[in-house]
Structure 1
Amino acid sequence: METAQTEAVIVEHEGNRAAVIVSAAEYDRLLASAEEIDDIEAFDAARDEAGPNISWGQVRLDLAWM
């Protein structure tokens, strides 16, 4: 466990990678990165949807957020 605080530890079973142990901080960083990638993919998918799009400036005008 001490090694996992500074580097990933690979656990093998019958010669194959079975698991990887990382520190809690590294796990949190990886999770945040994965969530950001999900957000980017969702944004790209929404942007590519067919249909009318409006600019942020128009949204602000429509909501009277000048």
Structure 2
Amino acid sequence: MTTVSVTNARAHLPELIEDAQNGAVFLERRGKLEAVMISPQHYERMVEALEDSEDIEAFDAAMAEEGENIPWDQVKADLGWT
């Protein structure tokens, strides 16, 4: 993890991009965290993990709903998949 001021980031952008391949680079302005730079690979993994988490949450919510269960064969027939 690297933390650098925005001013320093401007002067050292190529090096910071290289650092971001191995971990997050935090950019501060006037001592306040303003942005985080990460590699595209890290970003994609984070987005996939978030989407997986949202899918699990939606599944859990659906399973918690009360009501009659519909057999899978009936669902396929209703959708014209059989």
Alignment TM-score > 0.5, same fold: yes
Ranges in structure 2 where 5+ consecutive residues have no aligned partner: 1-16, 78-82
Per the alignment, residue 8 of structure 1 pairs with: 24
| Separation of aligned partners in 2, 1:44 and 1:37 | 11
Q: Give 1:45 shift.
A: 0.6
Q: TM-score by structure 1 length?
A: 0.79
Per the alignment, residue 40 of structure 1 pairs with: 56
Match of residue 72, structure 2, among 32, 35, 59: 59
Q: Give 1:59 shift.
A: 1.7
Ranges in structure 1 where 5+ consecutive residues have no aligned partner: none
Q: TM-score by structure 2 length?
A: 0.65
Q: Give 1:53 shift.
A: 2.1
Aligned residue type for 1:46: A
| Separation of aligned partners in 2, 1:5 and 1:46 | 38
Per-residue CA distance 1:2-29 (angstroms, 9 max, x = gap): 1101110001122111111000000000
CA RMSD in angstroms, aligned pairs only? 1.5
Divergent runs of 4+, >6 A: none
